[in-house]
Amino acid sequence: MAESKKILIAGGTGFIGKALVQELRQSGHEVHILSRKAEATNVYAWNPDKGEIDVAAFEGVQVLINLCGSGIADQRWTKERKKELLASRIGTNAFLFSKIDHMPHLEHFISASGINAYGFDTRDVQHAETDPFGSDFLSNLVKEWEKSADVFTAKCPVMKVRIAVVLGPDGGALKRMLPAIKLGAGSPLGTGKQFMPWIHATDLVGIIMHAIDQKLNGAYNAVAQCDTNRVFMKELAQQLKKPFFFPAVPSFVLRAMFGEMADVLLKGTSATNRKIIDSGYSFKYPSLPAALKSALSS
pTM of the model: 0.94
> Domain map of the chain by residue range?
6-170+197-225+270-285
Give the angle 184-266-229 at the CA atoms, nearest 5°. Answer: 50
Separation of alpha carbons 64 and 11, rounded Å: 11
Question: Average pLDDT, stretch 206-221?
Answer: 98
pLDDT surpassing 60 at residue 117:
yes
Fold adopted by 6-170+197-225+270-285? Rossmann fold (3.40.50)
Secondary structure of residue 105 in the 3-state scheme: coil
Separation of alpha carbons 180 and 164, rounded Å: 22
Separation of alpha carbons 62 and 9, rounded Å: 11
| Higher pLDDT pick, 153 / 13 | 153
Separation of alpha carbons 7 and 110, rounded Å: 11
Dump pLDDT digits (tens) for 250-297: 787 878 777 877 777 778 899 999 999 999 999 999 999 999 999 998
Q: What pLDDT is attached to residue 187?
A: 79
Sheet containing 30-35: give its strands across.
Answer: 52-53, 43-47, 30-35, 6-10, 63-66, 108-114, 158-163, 218-222
The band of 183, judged by pLDDT with boundaries at 50, 70 and 90, is confident
pLDDT surpassing 80 at residue 140:
yes
The band of 160, judged by pLDDT with boundaries at 50, 70 and 90, is very high
Q: Got the DSSP string for 116-135?
A: GGG----SS-EE-TTSPP-S
Separation of alpha carbons 93 and 152, rounded Å: 9
